[in-house]
Chain A
């Protein structure tokens, strides 16, 4: 009897654990998909959902990563500049949480570069000095940690694409980086269904411009 009970207990608890894991994976896959692919409407509801997951799964770095990613993306579409900074202030908190859980992570360095670029865009003429330097620094760090990460080349390309030619940017300068982004995506394998895969469709879009 005792044995049966123990077996039942173990089975039951592993069932609970499995159920929890399944629930996590399902929620993450759905939300990471929307956060990366939605370009039409506000993703604030999905950011909120991801924040709930992030709070419940305080030991996982990916939910923290996705909250920050979502907030950065939302900041690009907001028109009020003060609001952009408030969104980014919150993104910064989640970047710090993610980094504390997973230090020396190339994806987080890429996100930090993306974050620097978002800060810069709020007021390019004057923030160029500080955030331009940070952008470069984080990308270099990411490339050092994972030379095959396609998002390093993608961010560099997108940044060049938006920089005027006089400042060393332009479409032509960006092109080889967009191409190498796609090349790296050929061999890139995401470890699971809810890790970052962004950069591919965006690179394809820019190359079509």
Chain B
């Protein structure tokens, strides 16, 4: 009985406190400050001092758990027994892998993203960069590793042609990322920058999740649903007008009409149009968070454009021929993301259909270009290990492609079914060392062949703000369709990449440099005994996979976000040494699209008082090789170097339920007559310089949004 009484009163009687003390250290024995030491199920505990030591008192007796937690470290629990003696408990914490300490695989990739860490650019940079004209590809051309080629659209990466770069939206290959090609007039990309929350531009050594690109992939990921508001945006500029409506944040429909007549009336140009480029287009975007862990996206766009122009025929100085085109293009992509219950398994799947038709008339001959692609893709991701920082990605994709070209009485075409399987894992051995091996298997029916492409990336953090990264692997691509029409017996073209990267990001300053080596093999080569430099000739002769080549060089990127208040400065420089024997080149030569030196300086500043962003860009490319008709390849003529200065300004005005953006840009401010190459008369005696049809370009317009914004405003609706 007495015992029971004592037991009941025990909590009030025992006042004998004991002290618990000790030191909390990291892996190297360094004291950790501000760690939380707690005696679980009680309020007792302490915060460690600067040197990692702690001390606290408790009246508890018996078996308890002592927990140590600290931001950036794994929580540790130790069983202890509290008696009448003071206790000393020293513990060592293990670091988690987090954004403060983890290395990031960075070799060969230039990212613009909101959510990811250690990115080089932000999505907003794409619309605020002068000289980029709000076009994703044009901005990427200002980054290290790509060459500005003024007469043709596309990304020319480290000695690669434009066909060696693939554009990918949410994992899906975009068959026609640019408006239809016209000889010697570069076209804009079809997709507006603000559709995307992230852009990753690869300069090589890219992930096993992607293929069919010898040089580079441009990965675009579309926006997620933001908010639930309804708004309408109207836009008007020198090249057209459009209206889009967003209903409750999840569905957006847009229609637009383009016509460049106002631009042509205002800006002096060399165009000789019979029908000014004009067209209509429409798009639908659905972006819906379904249940808790499921997200559905649909994007569909359709457009119809016409133009007719007289192009120089190069027979004599005056002669021209008519080139007209009616283009109908559609692209659609549906994707579904599902996160499984424990949040360590994620599935991304997608289905896409695209169709492009060009009805051309070339000097009274009718011609057609058709292509169609249906693709499906699924990728599973498993997160595992320390802090779930490790991942395993595996999946597959399947494409059905149908392409055709008709010209006069010639009719070419083929169907191809292409499938790929891939697996890739990214593992952190320590927060400082990450390894990403991957493997890709591809089969394509037109070649009747398969390939296996290994990829490997490594990253090692050498200091708190600096790291080295390596990327390498093998990359395959089907030969261009013009070759496959005539000779389906060809095989894959291949390239091997090696890239070493070093970067420091500290205090709003970034320095990054890369050294690379790329080896081309099995490139398609034409057997001809006469060299025709015309890039638009049709290669009807014998071909084989006997071409080869290399590209090597380095590039540098420096960015300072501190020097200019509310502003930004970047400087890039790339050095490229490349030669290849391919197409109709009789021996290894520097291709006409490769410039040895490329440089750009980009600055911008936001003036708060007048709420205006002003940007200024200078870009430079050294001369590119010129090869004459039936050249003997003994001389080495280069075009004049390329220089351009561009400015842009955008003014923003926001009231409670409307948002107005006015923008103004001038491209090639100094009016320099850049020469991109030469075209030759049939007998080779005369040559004509290829120049930009507009020297100095002026462009302006406005976008006006009514209604509540879904957080998507700012320069979001800059519809250049």
- Residues of A whose CB lies within 8 Å of any CB of B are 5, 8-9, 12, 15-16, 19, 23, 27, 42, 44-45, 48-49, 51-53, 55-56, 80, 82-83, 85-87, 89-90, 123, 125-134, 136-137, 164-168
Chain B residues whose CB sits within 8 angstroms of the CB of A131 once the complex forms = 711
- Would A51 and B99 count as touching, CB distance under 8 A? no
| CB closest residue in chain A, given B657 | A168
- Would B100 and A86 count as touching, CB distance under 8 A? yes
- Would A45 and B114 count as touching, CB distance under 8 A? no
A27 interface neighbour in B40, B43, B122, B608, Cβ under 8 Å: B43
Q: Say yes or no for B656: interface residue by CB 8 A criterion.
A: yes
Partner-binding segment picked from B4-12, B477-485, B537-545: B4-12
Ranked nearest first, the 9 interchain pairs of A and B with the lowest CB-CB distance are A166-B611, A133-B711, A133-B227, A48-B36, A168-B654, A52-B38, A45-B47, A126-B122, A132-B711
State A53–B72 Cα separation when bound (angstroms). 21
Known A-B contacts: A55-B38, A55-B40, A86-B100. Give 9 more (CB < 8 A).
A45-B34, A49-B45, A52-B45, A123-B122, A126-B124, A127-B114, A129-B712, A134-B711, A164-B611
Chain A residues whose CB sits within 8 angstroms of the CB of B716 once the complex forms = 129
State A167–B671 Cα separation when bound (angstroms). 35
Q: Say yes or no for B652: interface residue by CB 8 A criterion.
A: yes
- Would B67 and A55 count as touching, CB distance under 8 A? yes
- Would A16 and B11 count as touching, CB distance under 8 A? yes
- Would B41 and A129 count as touching, CB distance under 8 A? no
Q: A53-B43, A126-B122 are in contact. Are A83 and B655 (CB under 8 A)?
A: no
State A159–B714 Cα separation when bound (angstroms). 17
Q: Say yes or no for B123: interface residue by CB 8 A criterion.
A: yes
- Would B608 and A49 count as touching, CB distance under 8 A? no
Q: Say yes or no for B98: interface residue by CB 8 A criterion.
A: yes
- Would B69 and A51 count as touching, CB distance under 8 A? yes
Chain B residues whose CB sits within 8 angstroms of the CB of A5 once the complex forms = 4
State A132–B716 Cα separation when bound (angstroms). 14
Nearest-CB distance from A115 to chain B (Å)?
Answer: 15
B655 interface neighbour in A23, A130, A168, Cβ under 8 Å: A168
Q: Say yes or no for B233: interface residue by CB 8 A criterion.
A: no
Tell me the dominant secondary structure on chain B's binding face.
Answer: loop
Chain B residues whose CB sits within 8 angstroms of the CB of A80 once the complex forms = 100
- Would B72 and A86 count as touching, CB distance under 8 A? yes
Nearest-CB distance from B631 to chain A (Å)?
Answer: 49
Q: Say yes or no for B226: interface residue by CB 8 A criterion.
A: yes
- Would A51 and B8 count as touching, CB distance under 8 A? no
A90 interface neighbour in B5, B40, B71, Cβ under 8 Å: B71
- 7 A-B pairs, CB-CB below 8 angstroms? A44-B34, A82-B99, A86-B99, A86-B100, A129-B226, A133-B227, A168-B655
Interface residues in B646-671 by Cβ distance below 8 A to A read: 652-656
A130 interface neighbour in B44, B114, B117, B713, Cβ under 8 Å: B114
Q: Say yes or no for B636: interface residue by CB 8 A criterion.
A: no
Chain B residues whose CB sits within 8 angstroms of the CB of A8 once the complex forms = 5, 8
- Would A56 and B100 count as touching, CB distance under 8 A? no
Residue-wise interface mask of B (1-25) relative to A, using a CB-CB cutoff of 8 A (1 in contact, 0 not): 0001100110110000000000000
B40 interface neighbour in A45, A56, A123, Cβ under 8 Å: A56
| CB closest residue in chain B, given A56 | B41
Q: A56-B41, A86-B72 are in contact. Are A48 and B47 (CB under 8 A)?
A: yes
Chain B residues whose CB sits within 8 angstroms of the CB of A83 once the complex forms = 100
Chain A residues whose CB sits within 8 angstroms of the CB of B622 once the complex forms = none
- Would A167 and B654 count as touching, CB distance under 8 A? yes
Q: Say yes or no for B42: interface residue by CB 8 A criterion.
A: yes
| CB closest residue in chain A, given B655 | A168
Interface centre among B39, B117, B711 (most CB of A within 10 A): B711
Nearest-CB distance from A113 to chain B (Å)?
Answer: 13
Nearest-CB distance from B271 to chain A (Å)?
Answer: 38
- Would B43 and A49 count as touching, CB distance under 8 A? yes
Q: Say yes or no for B710: interface residue by CB 8 A criterion.
A: yes
Residue-wise interface mask of B (601-630) relative to A, using a CB-CB cutoff of 8 A (1 in contact, 0 not): 000000010010000000000000000000
Q: A44-B47, A53-B43, A168-B655 are in contact. Are A126 and B114 (CB under 8 A)?
A: yes
- Would B652 and A167 count as touching, CB distance under 8 A? yes
B608 interface neighbour in A16, A128, A133, A164, Cβ under 8 Å: A164
Residue-wise interface mask of B (214-251) relative to A, using a CB-CB cutoff of 8 A (1 in contact, 0 not): 00000000000011100000000000000000000000
B36 interface neighbour in A52, A85, A137, A164, Cβ under 8 Å: A52
- Would B47 and A137 count as touching, CB distance under 8 A? no
- Would A166 and B608 count as touching, CB distance under 8 A? yes
| CB closest residue in chain A, given B33 | A44
Nearest-CB distance from B335 to chain A (Å)?
Answer: 19
Interface residues in B106-125 by Cβ distance below 8 A to A read: 114-115, 117, 122-124
| CB closest residue in chain B, given A23 | B43
State A23–B60 Cα separation when bound (angstroms). 15
- Would B71 and A82 count as touching, CB distance under 8 A? no
Interface centre among A80, A82, A126 (most CB of B within 10 A): A126
Nearest-CB distance from B43 to chain A (Å)?
Answer: 5
- Would A86 and B98 count as touching, CB distance under 8 A? yes
Chain A residues whose CB sits within 8 angstroms of the CB of B40 once the complex forms = 55-56
Chain B residues whose CB sits within 8 angstroms of the CB of A52 once the complex forms = 36, 38-39, 42-45
